[in-house]
C-alpha cells in the first residue's frame, strides 16, 4: 500500500466530482478581492506557526493586522507536505476560508524527502482548496539546507514556480529566501525572528495586492 496516497484519497473523496473537474482545468478564474473580515487560512509548518517569535508576531497575525482579514494560523511545526495535506480536509470544513495561503515543503527538503512527492502533495492541496471555492496563493519555500542558510545563499525551490504555472495560481516568490538569508532577520538557521516575520508578511500583502486578492 502506498502510504503517501492515503491523505490524498481522503481529500479527493470529500469533494464533489464537478468541483474536481473544475479544479483540474488549465485556466483558473480571475482573482477576486477578498473582503475585509473574510476568513483566510495560512497552511504551513513552523514558519507559519511562528517558531522563533510568538503568536502575536507570527506572519499570519501580522498579515491579519495589515489586511483586516481573519487569518487562521494553520501552521504546525515539523509538518511535511504529506502531514499538511492530511490536516487540510478538517481545516477546510471548520474554517471555510475564502483564501488558502499554501507555504509548505521546507521540512521535506531538510529531511531530503522526495521533491516529486512534495510537488504532488502541494498540487493536491491547491486543487482541493480551489474545488471548495477558495482562492489560493502559493508561497515559495527555499531549497533548505543548513549550509545554504548559514551562508545566506538561499533560493526558491523550482517546484513552486512550476506548480504556479501549471495551476495558474499567484505565487509569492523570494519572501522566505530573503528573510532566512539575512542573519538579522533570523532566530536560528531556519526560522525567522519577529522582524523577519513582519518583513515576510509585508511582502506577502504587497504580492496579494498585485494579484488582485487584496484591495
Q: Has residue 21 been placed in a domain?
A: no
Percent of the chain surpassing pLDDT 70:
83
CA distance 203 to 11: 31
Count how many Cα atoms sit within 13 Å of the Cα of residue 102 in the half-sphere of its side chain. Answer: 32
pLDDT at 175 over 60: yes
For residue 206, what is its C-alpha cell?
504587497
- pLDDT level of residue 7 (50, 70, 90 thresholds): low
18 located within any domain: no
Query: Is position 8 within any domain?
Result: no
Residue 214 has pLDDT above 60, yes or no: yes
Query: Does 87 map to a domain?
Result: yes
pLDDT for the residue numbered 189: 87
- The answer to whether residue 19 is domain-embedded is no
Average pLDDT, integer, range 106-135: 96
Structure pTM?
0.85
The residue ranges of DSSP E strands in 45-116, in sequence order, are 70-75, 99-103
Query: What pLDDT, in 10s, does the model give residues 139-170?
Result: 999 987 666 656 668 999 999 999 999 999 99
- Cell digits of residue 181: 538569508
Domain enclosing residue 49, as ranges: 35-211
Q: How confident is the model at residue 24 (pLDDT cuts 50, 70, 90)?
A: very low
Would residue 26 count as lying in a domain?
no
pLDDT digits (tens, 9 = 90+) for 61-112: 999 999 999 999 999 999 999 999 999 999 999 999 999 999 999 999 999 9
User: Higher confidence at residue 52 or residue 145?
Assistant: 52
pLDDT at 144: 74
CATH, residue 59: 3.40.50.1110
Q: Is residue 181 part of a domain?
A: yes
Q: Say how far apart CA 110 and CA 105 lie, in whole Å.
A: 9
Q: How many domains does the chain have?
A: 1
Q: Is 25 a member of any domain?
A: no
Mean pLDDT, rounded, for 183-188: 95
Phi, psi of 171 (to 5 degrees): -130, 135
Amino acid at each position: 500500500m502506498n502510504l503517501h496516497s492515503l491523505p490524498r484519497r481522503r481529500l479527493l473523496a470529500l469533494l464533489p466530482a464537478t468541483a474536481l473537474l473544475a479544479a483540474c482545468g488549465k485556466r483558473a478564474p480571475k482573482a477576486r478581492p477578498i473582503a475585509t473580515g473574510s476568513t483566510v487560512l495560512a497552511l504551513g509548518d513552523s514558519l507559519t506557526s511562528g517558531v522563533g517569535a510568538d503568536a502575536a508576531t507570527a506572519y499570519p497575525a501580522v498579515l491579519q493586522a495589515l489586511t483586516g482579514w481573519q487569518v487562521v494560523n494553520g501552521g504546525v511545526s515539523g509538518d511535511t507536505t504529506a502531514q499538511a495535506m492530511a490536516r487540510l480536509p478538517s481545516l477546510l470544513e471548520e474554517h471555510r476560508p475564502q483564501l488558502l495561503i499554501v507555504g509548505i515543503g521546507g521540512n521535506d527538503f531538510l529531511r531530503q524527502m522526495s521533491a516529486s512527492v512534495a510537488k504532488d502533495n502541494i498540487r493536491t492541496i491547491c486543487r482541493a482548496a480551489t474545488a471548495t471555492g477558495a482562492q489560493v496563493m502559493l508561497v515559495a519555500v527555499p531549497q533548505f539546507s543548513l549550509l545554504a542558510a548559514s551562508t545566506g545563499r538561499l533560493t526558491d525551490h523550482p517546484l513552486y514556480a512550476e506548480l504556479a504555472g501549471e495551476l495558474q495560481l499567484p505565487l509569492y516568490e523570494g519572501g522566505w529566501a530573503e528573510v532566512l538569508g539575512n542573519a538579522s532577520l533570523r532566530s536560528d538557521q531556519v526560522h525567522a525572528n519577529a522582524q523577519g516575520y513582519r518583513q515576510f508578511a509585508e511582502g506577502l500583502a504587497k504580492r496579494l495586492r498585485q494579484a488582485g486578492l487584496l484591495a
